[in-house]
Amino acid sequence: MLGLGPMGRALAGALLAAGHPVTVWNRTPGRDAEPLALGARSAGSAAAAVADAPLVLLCVRDHAAARAVLDTAGPALTGRTVVNATSIGPDDARANAADAQALGVRLLDAAILTPTPTIGRPEGTVLLSGDPEAFAAHAGTLRALGTVRHVGADPGRAAAFDAALLDLFWTTVHGWVHALALARAEGIGGAELAPYAQGLSRLLPPLIEDFARRADDRHHPGDRSSVASAAAGLAHVTHTARARGLDTSVLDAALALTRRAVTAGHGPDGVSSLVELLSA
């Protein structure tokens, strides 16, 4: 296990709990107390850590950090399977796999979709992509991490799932913080608003299913709600927020896109039709 931040420690802990021998290394020494207490061995360098390891897990801050660790380990990685569980973009995952292949390293990219407390439990969700044979060879070990799925031979595919889901997550988080600011400007506290926000979130699961089907079919009937109606709704929320002096940049962007759809003739279509406008 290369990298002992909160996630690296959680991954090492899950492997140890499942009975796998684990050697750990971290750039900054002294961060291995937790895995050592669980039975891990510690190595003084990345190269020493991977020396006896058929399977290497890498989990550090970002793409640059992952490349730095891979470079540090260097030729010691040849012949091994490396799972890069660092959050990176799809193109970086593809470039990593190509570079690794040239060095005789089998690299799988992993996207961890759930936080540290879920790791090693069924709700811990890890998607992997890249070399299917490398995945098949190590799937039994990797299943110690939680619910583990191989989503394709394209090394960038797990990172693409991750990016799409984080797109949803972060725009949702921005929606919620903006709603809290708007409510505050109107003298409504977060605790007062929260139950109604929870109610809204319960409407999302069927909407997610419905929009996904419509996007795949490229068919967006305006039977239940229309783009034109959404534009009117967004306009009044944006107006209210601006009147209270709030930053409306996120709402402005959503309103501008929705109005563009109306101008393009999608007013009577369902709101899911916006995906067609967003797609290049």
Q: Least separation, in Å, of the C-beta of 168 and ligand NAP?
A: 15
Q: Least separation, in Å, of the C-beta of 114 and ligand NAP?
A: 7
Q: In what order do the strands lie in the sheet with 81-84?
A: 55-58, 81-84, 106-112, 125-130, 147-150
Residue 64, token pair as written in the block: 């640059």
Name the residue nearer to ligand NAP (CB basis): 163 or 257.
Answer: 163
Q: Rule CB under 6 A: which residues touch ligand NAP?
A: 3-8, 26-28, 31, 59-62, 65, 68-69, 86-87, 112, 115-116
Name the residue nearer to ligand NAP (CB basis): 69 or 127.
Answer: 69
Name the residue nearer to ligand NAP (CB basis): 117 or 233.
Answer: 117
Q: Least separation, in Å, of the C-beta of 73 and ligand NAP?
A: 11
Name the residue nearer to ligand NAP (CB basis): 87 or 226.
Answer: 87
Q: Least separation, in Å, of the C-beta of 85 and ligand NAP?
A: 6
The rounded Cα 103 to chain-centroid distance in angstroms is 28
- State how far the Cα of 28 lies from the Cα of 249, in Å rounded to an integer: 40
Closest CB to ligand NAP: residue number: 5
Name the residue nearer to ligand NAP (CB basis): 48 or 188.
Answer: 48
Burial class (CB in 10 A: 0-12, 13-18, 19+), 249: exposed
Name the residue nearer to ligand NAP (CB basis): 65 or 262.
Answer: 65
- State how far the Cα of 114 lies from the Cα of 95, in Å rounded to an integer: 25
DSSP H stretches of helix in the chain: 6-17, 33-37, 46-50, 63-73, 90-102, 132-142, 157-185, 190-217, 227-243, 249-261, 274-278
Rounded to 10°, the helix 90-102/63-73 angle is 10
Name the residue nearer to ligand NAP (CB basis): 1 or 271.
Answer: 1
Residue 18 makes CB contacts below 8 A (sequence gap 6+) with: 120, 141, 144
Q: Least separation, in Å, of the C-beta of 256 and ligand NAP?
A: 31
**First and final CA of the chain: distance in angstroms?**
40
Helix (H, G, I), strand (E, B) or coil at 154: coil
Name the residue nearer to ligand NAP (CB basis): 129 or 238.
Answer: 129
Residue 134, token pair as written in the block: 């490398």
Q: Least separation, in Å, of the C-beta of 13 and ligand NAP?
A: 12
Helix (H, G, I), strand (E, B) or coil at 177: helix
Q: Least separation, in Å, of the C-beta of 198 and ligand NAP?
A: 23
